[in-house]
Amino acid sequence: MSYTLYNKIIARDYNSKLSYPVFRTDKTERKKFKEADSLAREAWRKDEHRLLELFKIDLRKDIEFRIDKPITDEQFNAIFRMVWENGHSSGYSEVLSGTEDLIAVIKTFVRR
């Protein structure tokens, strides 16, 4: 396992530091803060997307380091789709764990 990547996950390096706006139950407040809340939600989504892209870059580097071979975009995207679908609901650590389970297979099928 890549302890560097795992430590970044534990340190919440891939989690947005922006706070997600709370749902306002009062209709007057909801109307009053509608635009501000919408902008805050959009900023949070963009930050989460940026952090996901950073995670993907780090995960790819980790895979390539452990198999000692470069992988193509197509290969990485196939690997990522699979581990993301199987683990993202439990967090980035499960995505990394899913990658760990595939390293031997990846080594076999990725050619120099």
pLDDT of 13: 96
Residue that the structure tokens 């995960």 belong to: 59
Residue 3: what pLDDT?
A: 77
Domain map (residue ranges) of the chain: 3-109
What does the block give as tokens for 31? 């109307």
Give me the pLDDT at residue 112, please.
58
pLDDT in the model for residue 7: 95
Contact yes or no for 14/55 (Cβ under 8 A) = yes
**String of DSSP letters for 79-92:** HHHHHHHHHGGG-H
For the entire predicted model, the pTM comes to 0.86
Residue pLDDT tens, the chain, 112 long: 567 999 999 999 999 999 988 888 888 988 889 899 999 999 999 999 999 999 999 999 999 999 999 999 999 999 999 999 999 989 999 999 999 989 989 988 887 5
Residue 108: what pLDDT? 87
Amino acid (1-letter code) at residue 43:
A
